[in-house]
Amino acid sequence: MVDASAVRVRGLWKRFGQQVAVAGIDLELPAGKFIGLVGPNGAGKTTTLSMVTGLLRPDQGSVEVVGHDVWRDPVEVKARIGVLPEGLRLFERLSGRELLAYSGRLRGLPGAEVDKRATQLLDVLDLAGAQHKLVVDYSTGMRKKIGLAAALLHNPEVLFLDEPFEGVDPVSAQTIRGVLERYTASGATVVFSSHVMELVESLCDWVAVMAAGRIRATGTLAEVRGEAPSLQQAFLELVGAGGRDAGSDLDWLGGGAR
């Protein structure tokens, strides 16, 4: 049976000591969409994505990805997902091509197929010229791109990206965007976290807004935006920052007094 949900989260909690990072969220993410998980700093986006992708064990609750329980059935889930995690720890002493070869073989792909896909991905992501350079010598944007290539190599059903555009120049961002658009056009699902509203507005067809460990709104872009003129405005209202007068207490900042 085809499940229309790529991700199904029920009653998910995570605390770090006294700090509640994720406060019992329920979330259903539709398959085949370009989905943005948005929220202010500290909202719980990374913690949620880490639990959804099997990198962090929840205190309570369940997560299913393409119909499989992430914690009871981790091998099934991990075969079907690609992840670009926060912090992006990579094997620094491998070259970009070696990293892809290693990821592909780890995923059980035949060597010739890994080679073919790696060549195509390196080419499309404009990394062909740097393929023999060690990853430790890559720039931030190049690291994101090689991490994305490694996450895509086995053609996952769902791709999770934590802040994929952070530290990426506009040209590389456009390249990444093109690859992701092509990937979702084929029916795959992308879930990515961001606090850049313009980006989410221009890329996503579906949005979940998170603040203080809770889900504040979910739905299509139009549903979440509602009457607001932009997603940014709707977001500010949803997270309760719409009327905040930024900087009104900083009367010493600027001006003559030092």
Ligand X SMILES: Nc1ncnc2c1ncn2[C@@H]1O[C@H](COP(=O)(O)OP(=O)(O)OP(=O)(O)O)[C@@H](O)[C@H]1O
Window of 27-35, 45-53, 64-72, 224-232 that interacts with ligand X by CB under 6 A: 45-53
Q: Are 192 and 164 in contact (CB under 8 A)?
A: yes
Can residue 16 be called a binding residue for ligand X (CB under 6 A)? yes
Q: Are 103 and 160 in contact (CB under 8 A)?
A: no
Window of 38-46, 59-67, 91-99, 235-243 that interacts with ligand X by CB under 6 A: 38-46
| CB-based contacts of 209, cutoff 8 Å, min separation 6 | 38, 39, 215, 216, 217, 218, 224, 235, 238, 239
CB of 206 to ligand X, least distance (A): 18
CB of 201 to ligand X, least distance (A): 17
Can residue 21 be called a binding residue for ligand X (CB under 6 A)? yes
CB of 44 to ligand X, least distance (A): 4
Enumerate residues 181-210 that contact ligand X by CB under 6 A: 195
Can residue 68 be called a binding residue for ligand X (CB under 6 A)? no
Can residue 96 be called a binding residue for ligand X (CB under 6 A)? no
| Residue 163 backbone class (left: φ over 0; alpha: ψ -120 to 50; beta: rest) | left
CA angle 178, 170, 42 (to 5 degrees): 95
Distance of CA 142 to the CA centre of its chain: 17
Figure out which of the listed residues 32, 36, 39, 147 binds ligand X, where binding follows CB under 6 A.
39
Q: Are 36 and 206 in contact (CB under 8 A)?
A: yes
Figure out which of the listed residues 9, 43, 122, 190 binds ligand X, where binding follows CB under 6 A.
43
Indicate the SS3 state at residue 23. Answer: strand
First to last CA, the chain: 68
CB of 210 to ligand X, least distance (A): 7
Can residue 19 be called a binding residue for ligand X (CB under 6 A)? yes
Window of 34-42, 75-83, 182-190, 225-233 that interacts with ligand X by CB under 6 A: 34-42
Task: Name which of 224, 206, 198 is nearest 7 in CA terms.
Answer: 206
Distance of CA 205 to the CA centre of its chain: 15
DSSP state letter for 95 = B
Site string for ligand X, 215-244 (x = CB under 6 A): ------------------------------
State the Rg of the chain over Cα. Answer: 20
Q: Which is nearer to ligand X, 42 or 226 (CB)?
A: 42
Q: Which is nearer to ligand X, 33 or 45 (CB)?
A: 45
CB of 128 to ligand X, least distance (A): 32
Residues that bind ligand X (CB under 6 A): 16, 19, 21, 39, 41-47, 195
